[in-house]
Chains A and B, each alone.
Chain A
Amino acid sequence: MNKLSKENYIFDIEPDKYIDLEGYRAMGGFSALKKALENEPSVSIEEIKKSGLRGRGGAAFPTGIKLEMVRKNEETKRYIVCNADEGEPGTFKDRFIMRHLPYQLIEGIAIAAYMVGASKGYIYVRHEYPEVQLKLRESLEALKNAGLLGNNIMGTGFSLDLHIFSGAGSYLCGEETALLSSIEGRKGRPRVKPPYPTQSGLWGKPTLINNVETLANIPRIIEKGADWYASLGTENSSGTKLISLSGDVNNRGIAEVPFGITFAEIIEQFGGGPLPRRSVKAVNIGGASGVLVPPEMLDTPLDYNKCAEVGITIGSGAIFVLDDTRSIIKNVQNRVKFFLHESCGKCTPCREGLRQIDGIVEDFLEEKAAKSDIESLERYAVTMQQASFCGLGQAAGNSLVSSLVHYRKEYEEACVNDTDDVEKKA
């Protein structure tokens, strides 16, 4: 039941196959845009709302509500931005879409732009994807030539001026307000919310900003209807999800799965399970900002609400498998170092908390840690989760906190003594 039948794929594509404009149109591409343009924007917005589509970038905000918020803003100059700054470690699903199926993404952007009344937009692509940027630029050109983008699309009077904007390598620019600042030429630091981008986004105008996967879902929903889409997933999590599967499994790559499938099933069916004579020790779900999940929790279904209940963050849909040869603390250190490098340094908990955590984790690996350091780690990580300015800082401690819950023994065993070794650090 958790296998998706071919006709229900949102991303109908075999690995390594590129679908050009002709091929995409042969698949029925741009019929959804045509259909949307024939109706009032509110009709499509209703359809998206009914479909239950939620943001695929990580926050899972209901897409229909976001569309409506931009649409209903009194300011008529509005923007659309596609967040293609896919920086979450272990996540490569947006690259898959943009490489193999760029026209479906752009069709989704065009429909969304029409729904919110935006006539100008940007696809913010991470700097590390130069080949994707090239492909997208070619695609935009081809669409303009075909009258499917630019002025007066399909003769309907609707126009969309769409641009590719390259990031400059900062992970934090995947955070929506930092991304908008980056386009504006400012330092890529998060802004105070509210106002949210839907109220005051790019250049202070209402802006719809969505992840690649979210926007690429839209054409299929408009084409095949909200009911069909909702039937694919679970009650709270409709449709399908692209999973970026990597780590200690036999098969690594992109898998499209319906919501409701369990993590164990994903690892087994698509990953072919752990390598021979190895067993799964932990699964990192949601990328560097996600959590470490022990094998006994892998029966949890892929469902936003059910995952939230047990503390799993689906995030971008990255699944990284660690087998029994891996050190949890080493894995956590990898993430801490990543965030230490990527923090913008704006707020105290993230900037200073990471500095402290980095030092303590290093002590654990160098067998210099004391028992009291476990509590210190906990205190700093929880403070970061609770008090950081943006999602980066709030999530930076996730894997650490979850490792302290599920793999505490590993830390305890790494301690050299149980005294509070304050003097050493002063």
Chain B
Amino acid sequence: MQTVQINLNGRDVVVNEDLSILEAAKANGIRIPSLCNHTDQDVKANCRVCVVEVEGVRNLVASCSTKVAEGMKIRTDSPRVRSAVRTVVELILADHPQECLTCIRNGTCELQELSQRLGISNVRGRKRHDKLPIDDSTNVLVRDPNKCIKCGRCVEACNNIQQVGILFTHYRSTDVQITPEYGKSLSEVACVLCGQCVLACPVGAIYEKDNTAEVWDVIGDPKKHVVVQVAPAVRVSIAEEFGMPPGSISTLKMFSALRMLGFDRVFDTNFSADLTIMEEGNELLHRIQNGGVLPMITSCSPGWIKYIEHYYPEMLPHVSSCKSPQQMFGAVAKTYYAEKSGVPAEDICVVSIMPCTAKKYEAARPEMNDSGFQDVDIVLTTREFGRMIKQAGIEFDDLPDSEPDSPLGKSTGAAALFGATGGVMEAALRTVYEVVTGETLEKMEFEDVRGFEGIKSASVNLAGQNVNVAVSHGLSNAKQMMEMIKSGEGDYTFIEVMCCPGGCIGGGGQPYGTTTDIRKKRIESIYEVDRNMPIRKSHENPEIKEIYEYFLIAPLGEKSHKLLHTKYTDRKNLTAK
């Protein structure tokens, strides 16, 4: 590492020569204000909030896009800088609706924080009077162009990180807007509703459709028997909503919170993740033994499913027919659980708490009603779950531990792994290995499918036969994976694809401020959850054994086929509906 000496506000410091001024200042205790800058994204330098003075340079320079150099004299605090930064922020605010108190980002907004930091008490300048229409054409995401500050972070998340590429900068000058192609609404384009744009947005210009009010309504309705399921990834992220460090594990506090919110039964999506492994593992074996379409690709990620339906429909025969754990849960809750508990299925309301925005779309798919009713009624993101806990006045930190209810509450370490990239693969391998070989798996961790690499692969010896598997996360990697399969590159039997970077722990419904570093911390915690589970293989889950014994009979059996498997739709015509 080469270093250079710079002078920062009169102080000589030595820094890595590869750093931008912004980074160098941060490393030396000065947080230069910024908005369009995002640690996981390219430098855009368009908000101009981070301008600083460099001696010898006529104009101010954007500290995000300017590298340090030997002898550079930088001032972040001169009157010239202060005046410019303040004016730039006021210019943004003058163009911004002053609706902080009722904005979904109240308290998490980067612009609000900036304004507060700079002590802006009066926004000079003309406000905008012409209101642009809000796009709430999907049941998942809402775009409010009036709040958009044109930083371009959502565009980069969509075009570069996910490579879905439906968001663009349109028009010019003061008319600039970020919209789906040709100014269409989100429902008219091939958006997969992954919500990575939501995570990228510094303000409230794009956000999930909040369904918390509906949940309060059903909880308060005495005729409704409201059951809730929580996805694996939520237990390692919900604590962030209450200021705890990223990666904090709060599985048992979370169950207590759900009980206090008033849900009639508190279940766990991890149960149905184990169920998914039973079905998907057996489907894989069935495909291998019967000359089925290979490689088989996982189907738990709804953003991924919508993506392949839009962009690679010709590859759909590769996708496992298994429903996602969320949907398997809904289907068995309104059949098996209804039967067992004696509560009529029509009175059961299934709420799920997901790290994901696309799950809202998945639950509303017309085919997801195999129980005779809509299998999952309402989907909340981790953030909405956090809001409900706050609304109820529950002190999350002080919550006691509690266990989920039976018969859809028990789970294994394998199920927890679903939250992290490579986890479904690892969980499946644990079960498939034992089913095929009849031997006990000694080392449970499949290290090759762990880690943050975009595409990972491994070779597993199953009773003398080598099976190649691959894992990808983030849709840009999924795209690469599809191209690889189409070109015949890589002889894979089983492939896990997750829509979001890092897997579900990096989902579009997770707490704001999610970065690669935070994703990695959550993944570590997922592994910790797995390690600490008494049972770590799906097929050993006693409640899973029970549901097969008394209800489903066998994986891929008739009931499974009806309730737990699904079909996909070719959506090449580029409409999201």
Contacts and interface: CB of A to CB of B under 8 A. Distances in A.
Given A376-B124, A383-B83, A346 B60 contact: no
A380 B87 CA distance: 7
Contact of A422 (B60, B124, B150): B124
Contact of B87 (A346, A383, A426): A383
B65 interface: yes
B39 interface: no
A348 B47 contact: yes
A348 B45 contact: no
B45 A426 contact: no
B175 interface: yes
Contact of B46 (A194, A347, A382, A394): A347
Contacts of A425: 125-127
A352 B95 contact: yes
Contacts of A340: 173-174
Interface stretch (A232-240, A245-253, A385-393): A385-393
Contacts, number: 106
Interface string A190-234: 001010000000000000000000000000000000000000000
A41 B89 CA distance: 50
Given A351-B150, A353-B91, A192 B59 contact: no
A130 interface: no
Contacts of A189: 169
A351 B126 contact: no
A389 B84 contact: no
A187 interface: yes
Point out which of A170, A344, A352, A353 has the most chain B C-beta atoms below 10 A from its C-beta. A352
B365 interface: no
A383 B92 CA distance: 13
Contact of A356 (B59, B80, B91, B172): B91
A282 to B, nearest CB: 24
B463 interface: no
A396 B83 CA distance: 19
Interface of chain B, helix or strand or loop or mixed?
loop
Interface string A339-371: 011111111110111111001000000000000
Contacts of A3: none
B475 interface: no
**Which secondary structure characterizes the binding site on chain A?**
helix
Contacts of A352: 91-92, 94-95, 174
Given A187-B169, A356-B125, A387 B174 contact: no
Contacts of B124: 376, 422
A387 B126 contact: no
A368 to B, nearest CB: 12
B88 A383 contact: yes
B126 A356 contact: yes
A425 B47 CA distance: 24
B60 A344 contact: no
Contacts of B574: none
A376 B94 CA distance: 14
* Residue from B94, B95, B173 whose CB has the most chain A CB atoms within 10 Å: B173
A385 B59 contact: yes
A379 interface: yes
A355 B174 contact: yes
A265 to B, nearest CB: 29
B48 A388 contact: yes
B14 interface: no
Given A387-B48, A387-B59, A348 B91 contact: yes
A192 B45 contact: yes
Contacts of A349: 48, 87-88, 91
Nearest to A194: B67
13 contacts: A194-B67, A340-B174, A341-B173, A345-B173, A347-B47, A352-B92, A354-B173, A355-B126, A356-B125, A356-B126, A359-B126, A380-B91, A386-B59
* A-B interface, 6 closest residue pairs, ranked by CB to CB distance from nearest: A345-B176, A352-B91, A343-B173, A383-B87, A387-B48, A386-B60
